[in-house]
Structure 1
Amino acid sequence: MPEGHTLHRLARDQSLAFAGRPVHVTSPQGRFAAGAALLDDRVLDEVTAHGKHLFACFGADILHVHLGLYGSYTAGTGTPPPPRGALRMRWQGEGPDGLGVWTDLRGATACEVLAAPEVDRILDRLGPDPLRPRSDGAVAHRRIAGSRTAIGALLMDQSVLAGVGNVYRAEILFRHGVSPFRPGRDVDAGTWAAMWADLVVLMRAGVRMGRIVTTRPEHRTRRGGAVRREDAHYVYRRTGLPCRVCATPVQTQVMVGRNLYWCPVCQAV
């Protein structure tokens, strides 16, 4: 499932390509036909993200998209390719440079037109998002500090913290030496404040680069230049490989339905 930095990057790119101009909206697959007809040829105000949700504002009507596990966007310029397969929604318009732009949505869990009160109900269910301006990490800590649930599970709960997924979960816990099995109530305010600040920096970098890189230069096998894929993470998908800090084999087990990765020495309980 895409993590929060991907959604914020999509919101930025879609706003740059389409905002302020009419958008031709269609549903070649047909599943979003009524919503597409409602939005077609209306001016897009902006696209924003909160956690793993996208909101495209067309006046009072707001298009809500949640990609889920299988959803994805593709985009391009000029004439789009002929529609094929389960193409849920297509946008076409004129970009800021006058050239044609388009984007296609496939496989999303949610693709629906909502009114503002319905959007508010979604937002009320979400925790603070490290990528949104003025988000308060202390709100997340109040929920964490009152829970006996393992912090590795709490970080995946979007009502606690919005936008963090499996990669950021594993990596932020490693970077701060926190066992994923530590109860939330045992994560003190100072530790959480440092984790939150680090998430803000890492996730902003993810928006900028379009990928997640969490390793520090001194822990990469090659210094300088672009970070290679095998050097990008400390523990995520490194089961059995030596920890970059202490050389202990990285371990894994399933937690809240996703594979969890950690170093048993650097992140001792």
Structure 2
Amino acid sequence: MPEGHTLPRLAAEHTRLLAGEHVRASSPQGRFAEGSRIIDGQAFELAEAWGKHLLHRYEGGTLVHIHLGLYGSFTTLPTPAEPPVGQVRMRLATGSHVIDLRGPTRCELMGQPRLAALLDRLGPDPLRRDAEPGLAWDRVSRSRVPIGALLMDQEVIAGVGNVYRAEVLFRQRIAPHRPGRDLDRRQWNALWSDLVTLMPVGVREGRMITVRPEHDHGAPPYAPGRPRTYVYRRAAEPCRICATTVKQEELRGRKLYWCPRCQR
């Protein structure tokens, strides 16, 4: 599933390519036929991201809500584009570009009441300037649930996925099984601050960079085939800091990675 930094990049790209354009909308697959009929010919205003949710806004207030889920993806092509291939849920076309959406969990028109209800359910997003980390702390500090699970709960924090979960807990030396209520406010503030630092790097670079240069052992950036993480997808490999074997297990249906020595 795309993590939080992916959606702001898509929002910025779609705003750059579509803002002010009267888009030609269609649903080759047919599952967004009514929605595409309504937005066809409307002027695209902007796209914005809230956690793992992407919002397309049109002049006049029409709103399209998109959640990519595990399999959703966008493809951008120059105009004229070939006829759509595969299960294209929504195609947006202008005089210069075509944007195809495939496989999302959600692609739907959404009114303001439903949008307000959705945003009310989401926790603060570390990528948004208006985020209120205290709201997440209120939930974390009262919970017996492991912090490794809380970080993946979009109602606690919006946008954090499996990679950032594993990496920020390692960077802060916090055991993923530790109950949320066992963290103190200083640890929470440091964890939140680290997310606010790391996630914009992913937005800017288009990839998640979590390893500090002093822990990279002199390897060139983005070496082919070499994980650019501390623990994520490095099960059974030595920890970059202490050489202890990195562990992996299932936590609430998702793979969890951690170093049992650095994250006691």
After TM superposition, is the score higher than 0.5? yes
Counterpart position of 2:84? 83
1:167 aligns with 2:168: no
Counting only pairs closer than 5 Å after superposition, residues 124-163 of structure 1 correspond to structure 2 as 124-163=120-159
- Once the two structures are overlaid, the 10-residue window that deviates more, 15-24 or 237-246, is 15-24
Contact 1:61 1:116 in 2 (8 A): no
Which of 242, 254, 264 lines up with 2:260 in the alignment? Answer: 264
Instruction: Please report how far the alpha carbon of residue 224 of structure 1 lies from its aligned counterpart in structure 2 after TM superposition.
Output: 5.0
Instruction: Please report how far the alpha carbon of residue 188 of structure 1 lies from its aligned counterpart in structure 2 after TM superposition.
Output: 1.0
1:29 aligns with 2:29: yes
Counterpart position of 2:73? 72
Instruction: Please report how far the alpha carbon of residue 139 of structure 1 lies from its aligned counterpart in structure 2 after TM superposition.
Output: 1.1
TM-score by length of 1: 0.95
1:186 aligns with 2:182: yes
How far apart in 2 are the matches of 1:124 and 1:43? 28
Instruction: Please report how far the alpha carbon of residue 84 of structure 1 lies from its aligned counterpart in structure 2 after TM superposition.
Output: 1.5
Counterpart position of 1:251? 247
Q: Percent identity?
A: 51
Cα shift readout 1:8-57 (whole Å, capped 9, x = no counterpart): 11001100110112111110011100000000010011101100000111
Cα shift readout 1:95-132 (whole Å, capped 9, x = no counterpart): xxxxx111110000000001111111111110000001
Number of equivalent positions: 263
Contact 1:32 1:111 in 2 (8 A): yes
Aligned-partner residue type, residue 16 of structure 1? R
TM-score by length of 2: 0.97
Q: 1:69 to 1:129 in 2, by over 3 A?
A: same
Contact 2:55 2:64 in 1 (8 A): yes
How far apart in 2 are the matches of 1:86 and 1:176? 42
Provide structure 1 residue ranges, at least 5 long, that are not aligned to the other structure. Answer: 95-99
How far apart in 1 are the matches of 2:129 and 2:236? 38
Contact 1:53 1:66 in 2 (8 A): yes
Instruction: Please report how far the alpha carbon of residue 222 of structure 1 lies from its aligned counterpart in structure 2 after TM superposition.
Output: 3.1
How far apart in 1 are the matches of 2:13 and 2:224? 25
Cα shift readout 1:184-208 (whole Å, capped 9, x = no counterpart): 0011111111111110111100001
Aligned-partner residue type, residue 215 of structure 1? V
Counterpart position of 2:62? 61
Instruction: Please report how far the alpha carbon of residue 155 of structure 1 lies from its aligned counterpart in structure 2 after TM superposition.
Output: 0.4
Instruction: Please report how far the alpha carbon of residue 223 of structure 1 lies from its aligned counterpart in structure 2 after TM superposition.
Output: 4.4
How far apart in 2 are the matches of 1:129 and 1:227? 30
How far apart in 2 are the matches of 1:189 and 1:229? 38
Instruction: Please report how far the alpha carbon of residue 76 of structure 1 lies from its aligned counterpart in structure 2 after TM superposition.
Output: 2.2
How far apart in 2 are the matches of 1:175 and 1:241? 17
- Once the two structures are overlaid, the 10-residue window that deviates more, 225-234 or 237-246, is 225-234
Tell me how large the CA RMSD over aligned residues is.
Answer: 1.2
Instruction: Please report how far the alpha carbon of residue 81 of structure 1 lies from its aligned counterpart in structure 2 after TM superposition.
Output: 2.2
